[in-house]
Structure 1
């Protein structure tokens, strides 16, 4: 399993709109993606314009090829992209240890 973490910064004052948009995008677009196994979104307390999106994928290619190069990516970005203050920092992780 691969964990994608996207560090998202949005424009100030648009938090309530983005809260709804990201949840809508996850439920209607990301949920359809091949190899997607779940997600979590956390909103920063100290910096309310900062969000950490975690998406669990079967393989790296499910995210980088099937999703990013397929039609769902454009749909996703149309929903959440207008809120971005800067491009999200996206990285992928494998599990090293768990309690």
Structure 2
């Protein structure tokens, strides 16, 4: 499993529209082979900062499967105009995990 993480800075006057559109755009990312789950977290300390976490079966599911798909073009059309600056996306693999 690969975890994609992106810090999203949303233009301050567009937060409510962004959250609504994010929910709509979620159908596109979740339609991709290799997609597991995703969540959007809102920062408590910084009003217009969000954390996007997406779990993929493998790196290629995101970098090839999603990024080269028609679904990505729709995702991009719905969401990319909200960001300033454009987010840096990074991928992580689990080294250690613990749950109670």
Instruction: State TM-score, norm by structure 1.
Output: 0.94
Extract structure 1 runs of 4+ deviating beyond 4 A.
none
Instruction: State TM-score, norm by structure 2.
Output: 0.93
- Name the counterpart of 1:5: 5
- Name the counterpart of 2:71: 72
Structure 2 unaligned spans of 5+: none
CA RMSD of aligned residues (A): 0.9
Structure 1 unaligned spans of 5+: none
2: CA distance between counterparts of 1:86 and 1:23?
21
Could you list the per-position Cα deviations for residues 16-71 of structure 1 after superposition, in whole angstroms to 9, with x for gaps in the alignment?
Answer: 11111111111x21110110000111001111211100000001000001111121
Could you list the per-position Cα deviations for residues 54-96 of structure 1 after superposition, in whole angstroms to 9, with x for gaps in the alignment?
Answer: 0000010000011111211111011111111121110000011
Give the 3-state SS of the residue equivalent to 2:4 in structure 1.
strand
- Is 1:56 matched up with 2:61? no
- Matched pairs, number: 98
Aligned pairs for 1:1-99 (under 5 A) are 1-26=1-26, 28-99=27-98
